[in-house]
Structure 1
Amino acid sequence: MSAGRFRHTVAVDFDRVVHDYLHGYQDGSIYGDLVPGAVEALHALMRDFMVVIFTARLDVIGVASWIRSRTGISAVVEPLGERVRRWRPGEVLVTNRKVPALAYVDDRSVVFRAWLAALADVYALSDLACPGGAMNDQETGNAGLLEEIRRLCSEEDPASAVAAIREALGEPVKAPRSAKDLEIK
């Protein structure tokens, strides 16, 4: 198998996807264990894709070392300021920048298809809906909350959707005056 065989890259988040992150960031050291199934999933992906492990951590060398020692998978570190275009089969690239990819496997992602649905998902998973920040609908303690918020986002105007969501969550309604107020400036 040659590196030219891979047409696509799949990016996999490190914390909570490969590394369990049970002890949090603390001093930046990697304290946890492997997420069950992570090694098998990485090997499966590596058969058909270039795999990137991405992290918000600054110490990508530490992440690569942890991956090598815990999984036996060779991990290449992207040098600061340089972009690695290809790596060998059987290796993963470790980086702390967003790379172009077919898919991102991430515990905190919201799939974007349209803004109203994305707003619903973000609010449903936020501390506004779930004190402590649930990671998915089952962790909210209210299994119907995500669907209720998605229903509220049937509004055509994002500002109206945000107002409806905040009202359903019992928050004071401080919605933008219009969709234009939601634009990033």
Structure 2
Amino acid sequence: MTTIGVDFDVPLHAYSRGWADGTIYDEPTPGGFDALRQLMADHAVFVFTARDTYQTALWLKGHGFDVQLDAAGSDGIWPKFWNTRDRILVTDRKLPAVAYIDDRGIRWTSWPQALADLETSLLLFDRDEQLRALRAAQDPFISSEQYLQALHDARRCAELERELEAAKFEIRHLRAGESDQPAPEGVAPTPEQWIHWWNRATPDERTTMVNQIFASAATAATCFEMNHRWSLERLDRLTNALRILDQVPSIAARAMFITEAHENLGLGASFETVLAYAAARVILTETTPSASAPSESSR
């Protein structure tokens, strides 16, 4: 069973004169009761209000709803949940629910968004209250059409101010971390100066820069891959040479093969070249009957 909370003023009670003296004075909001019955068909519904809950319950009952007044039980404990679908609970408490329908509610997704929405709601509230005051005074210079148009204009203005604040926030977000000054000509920019340039570059300049970054990244990846492949091949050659030398049973014989390689190649030869030469001599000694391994007597 899912529970829905519905605010009383505006969603159900028209609230054309605002809070007034706190009593329930107005007609039902058009469409409010139909929506309330539709909700009750699928959910448990409670109505929450800052007004007197007894008066609110009587008002709803007078319009044909089965209501229950929120109260503590015989044990003195107040109910924590509302799960009855065919009856409306009237309360001044905020009970658990999957959703709350409220004309002044602010949906929270982040604090910057919530504070921006709150500022817009406060502007809208002040203007609505001013228009209600004019309406209540029955100003002879304001017709119903003018009142509705003024209300529409006030809400549209509030929407535009909200969009403006959102745009300002987005600009602050985009410029976060940038330097106050661009990099001097011919000097590599710092990350902060690079962000400064990017935020002021034209679309064509940005496209050119991104293409250059992609090209540089591709070149770097190719160089890394080639160097990596060469390193693996060199490691394979060294491993094979060492494996061949390891087949020589005598440590002294291995040393003589390597010494011979140094003498024939010169002291400037690389370690890899010396090992390869020594390994080749081992293979030649094993496969050529006339060839012999170097020995102290022959040297």
The two structures have a TM-score, normalised by structure 1, of 0.70
Mapping 1:83-98, distance limit 5 Å:
83=79, 85-86=81-82, 88-98=84-94
Aligned to 1:26: 20
Q: Does 1:121 align with 2:117?
A: yes
Aligned to 1:78: 70
Which structure is higher in RCO with an 8 Å CA cutoff and minimum separation 6? 1
Mapping 1:49-68, distance limit 5 Å:
49-57=43-51, 59-68=52-61
Deviates most, 16-25 or 146-155: 146-155
Gapped regions of structure 1 (runs ≥ 5): 1-6, 157-185
What letter matches 1:67 in structure 2?
L
Q: How far apart in 1 are the matches of 2:61 and 2:125?
A: 36
Aligned to 2:154: 139
Q: How far apart in 2 are the matches of 1:15 and 1:145?
A: 26
| Change in CA separation of 1:62 and 1:146 when aligned onto 2, cut-off 3 Å | same
Q: Does 1:42 align with 2:36?
A: yes
Q: 8 Å contact 1:125–1:133 — kept in the other structure?
A: no
More strand by share: 1
Q: How far apart in 2 are the matches of 1:66 and 1:8?
A: 25
Larger radius of gyration: 2
Match of 2:164 among 148, 152, 155: 148
* Shift of residue 99, structure 1, vs aligned partner: 0.9
Q: How far apart in 2 are the matches of 1:85 and 1:145?
A: 39
Q: 8 Å contact 2:66–2:86 — kept in the other structure?
A: yes
Deviates most, 23-32 or 75-84: 75-84
Q: How far apart in 2 are the matches of 1:137 and 1:29?
A: 27
Q: Secondary structure at the match of 2:35?
A: helix
More helix by share: 2
Cα RMSD (Å) of the superposition?
2.4
Q: Deviations over 1:78-137 (max 9, x none)?
A: 01562264464321111001111100100001110111111111112223x774258x99
Q: Secondary structure at the match of 2:127?
A: coil
Q: How far apart in 2 are the matches of 1:152 and 1:120?
A: 11
Q: 8 Å contact 2:2–2:83 — kept in the other structure?
A: no
Q: Secondary structure at the match of 1:144?
A: helix
Q: How far apart in 2 are the matches of 1:119 and 1:125?
A: 10
* Shift of residue 56, structure 1, vs aligned partner: 1.1
Q: How far apart in 2 are the matches of 1:145 and 1:11?
A: 30
* Shift of residue 34, structure 1, vs aligned partner: 0.5
* Shift of residue 151, structure 1, vs aligned partner: 2.0
* Shift of residue 141, structure 1, vs aligned partner: 4.5
Q: Does 1:11 align with 2:26?
A: no
Q: 8 Å contact 2:104–2:121 — kept in the other structure?
A: no
What letter matches 1:139 in structure 2?
A
Q: 8 Å contact 1:137–1:146 — kept in the other structure?
A: no
* Shift of residue 46, structure 1, vs aligned partner: 0.5
Q: Secondary structure at the match of 2:15?
A: coil
Q: Secondary structure at the match of 1:64?
A: helix
The two structures have a TM-score, normalised by structure 2, of 0.45
